[in-house]
Structure 1
Amino acid sequence: MIGVPQGLFVTGSDTGIGKTFVGCALLSAWRAEGLAPQPRKPVESGCPERDGTLFPEDGAALTAAAGLPATAVEQVTPWRFPDALAPDQAAARQGVRLTVAQLAQACETPGNAPRLVEGAGGFYSPLCGDGLNADLAQALGLPVLLVAEDRLGVLNTCLLTLEALERRGLQLAGIVLNRRRADTDALLDNAGALTRYTAAPILSLPEGIAPQDATQKLSIWKSSWRMPPSPGVTSSRV
């Protein structure tokens, strides 16, 4: 039987770089192994209104990828705000002040199934009234998966994030370099450059990769993660 992790905190080098896409692919990979993963994105801003309520698009995508009923999005993303701002600012505009403790409590899941917690924006982006994404990751104590856009200049952000993880005593599970622009120079080799500075496993996703192909790549790659399995939790695959 293959040991599976207790969960992951998915963070980014920036906002809009594909954290949810990668998270959904990972949830699908876990489900293919017979697991019942539990996603959480406790706060989401920039939510459009649908049928009189704010609709968390990222939270809904994670809910669907985990194979949960649509109504489960209420637990996946309990706090939603309309303004496309950092969550702490979006909440403040609605007269709400969230805390790291509240968000951490919202990330609790039943049973021993692996959980996937997605932050908002980059690792040091403000998340709530008293903390950053980094503070929530530290409160949860989960290994961190860093998603970064595979573009020129991202090495600086990646290395700063790795240094921040080390300072906070958090474990880096791996790095996903997500290429999002078709005009990116084909000679660019961020993955190769990063191997000079970290022994963490690195996965490169090509521009325009289909969700099912990303799931397949993540399913194979995650066996190289540097993280402990959750006690008593195993995959149904031998």
Structure 2
Amino acid sequence: MSPTQTGAPPQGLFVTGTDTGVGKTFVSCALLELWRDRGLRPQPRKPVESGCPPGPDGLRPEDGLNLTHAAGLPDTAIEQVTPWRFPDAIAPDQAAANQGVRLTIAELAAACAADGTGPRLVEGAGGFYSPLCADGLNADLAEALGLPVLLVAEDRLGTLNTCLLTLEALERRGLQLAGIVLNRRRTDADPRLDNAAALRSRTSAPIIESAEGIARAALAQKLSTSKLSGRTPPEDSRS
């Protein structure tokens, strides 16, 4: 039976990283555009964002707006995509506390609810075990939502440790790894470095290699030809 036949919420992904600044939003936007090209109506969520600069209509959540536009939604949809926005460029739990706000996992999970018209893409903030709100981590939100997890990591020396630690954390929490995107951001990396091969020997999940400066459409093409392309209905039958 499909998720809609069982009454379950539409499938989707929880996008997390091994750290902050590894390219989660870029990868998320590529996925949203891929799903739109397939006739789906994706529903992005980044429920809390810190480091938001002031704009004409209040604090401007850059990541949330990028997700909103990639999903083909109007700017007004940001109220659903990123309902909590804070100015301080620090961890969201601290940024919220500085504004006298106490956020909880239950509130964030409720804000990630979708109306059933398309797959959800929920992007966390920082790494998988980074604090997200007063009572939990990104990992706790992922567990509350129960979505398969897409891990984004910078493709550099040392990333195997953080990737494998995250994979162990996912297994301990009973969460499914949808895939790993390795984003090579440094041009001076040793060309013999092969994190993808090392990870493929340790997981059967898709490993997608990206690079700084790659066009979003090119990344979407890589994603579309991987097993990851079938993570959302009605695409499961094609994977």
TM-score by length of 2: 0.92
TM-superposed CA distance for 1:206, in Å, is 2.4
Question: 1:54-106: per-residue Cα shift (whole Å, max 9, x none)?
Answer: 00000000000000011101110000000000000000000001000000000
Residue of structure 1 in register with 2:7 after alignment:
none
| Residues 124-143 of structure 1 aligned to structure 2 (within 5 Å) | 124-143=129-148
CA distance in 1, matches of 2:103, 2:20: 20
Q: Equivalent of 2:107, from 77, 102, 105?
A: 102
Opposite residue 221 of structure 2, the aligned amino acid is Q
RMSD between aligned alpha carbons? 1.9
CA distance in 1, matches of 2:229, 2:43: 22
**Given the alignment of the two structures, is residue 86 of structure 1 paired with residue 91 of structure 2, yes or no?**
yes
Residue of structure 2 in register with 1:9 after alignment:
14
- Tell me, yes or no, if the aligned pair for 2:223 and 2:229 is still in contact at 8 Å: no
Residue of structure 1 in register with 2:59 after alignment:
54
- Tell me, yes or no, if the aligned pair for 1:201 and 1:224 is still in contact at 8 Å: no
Residue of structure 2 in register with 1:200 after alignment:
205
| Residues 218-237 of structure 1 aligned to structure 2 (within 5 Å) | 218-223=223-228, 230=233, 233=234
* Aligned residue-pair number: 230
Question: 1:91-128: per-residue Cα shift (whole Å, max 9, x none)?
Answer: 00000010000000000011141010000000000000
| Residues 134-173 of structure 1 aligned to structure 2 (within 5 Å) | 134-173=139-178
Opposite residue 129 of structure 1, the aligned amino acid is A
- Tell me, yes or no, if the aligned pair for 2:179 and 2:228 is still in contact at 8 Å: no
Q: Work out which structure has the larger RCO, using CA pairs closer than 8 Å and 6 or more positions apart in sequence.
A: 1
- Tell me, yes or no, if the aligned pair for 1:6 and 1:112 is still in contact at 8 Å: no
Larger CA deviation: 201-210 vs 73-82:
201-210
Distance 1:68 1:224, change over 3 A: closer
Distance 1:223 1:173, change over 3 A: closer
- Tell me, yes or no, if the aligned pair for 2:43 and 2:114 is still in contact at 8 Å: yes
**Given the alignment of the two structures, is residue 184 of structure 1 paired with residue 198 of structure 2, yes or no?**
no
TM-superposed CA distance for 1:207, in Å, is 2.9
Residue of structure 2 in register with 1:25 after alignment:
30
Opposite residue 205 of structure 1, the aligned amino acid is S
CA distance in 2, matches of 1:43, 1:145: 18
Larger CA deviation: 201-210 vs 131-140:
201-210
Larger CA deviation: 77-86 vs 48-57:
48-57
Q: Which runs of 5+ in 2 are unaligned?
A: 4-9
CA distance in 1, matches of 2:62, 2:180: 24
CA distance in 2, matches of 1:150, 1:92: 33
SS at match of 2:226: helix
TM-superposed CA distance for 1:155, in Å, is 0.3
Residue of structure 1 in register with 2:49 after alignment:
44
Structure 1 segments (4+ residues) deviating >6 Å: none
CA distance in 1, matches of 2:13, 2:165: 20
TM-superposed CA distance for 1:222, in Å, is 4.1
- Tell me, yes or no, if the aligned pair for 2:229 and 2:235 is still in contact at 8 Å: no
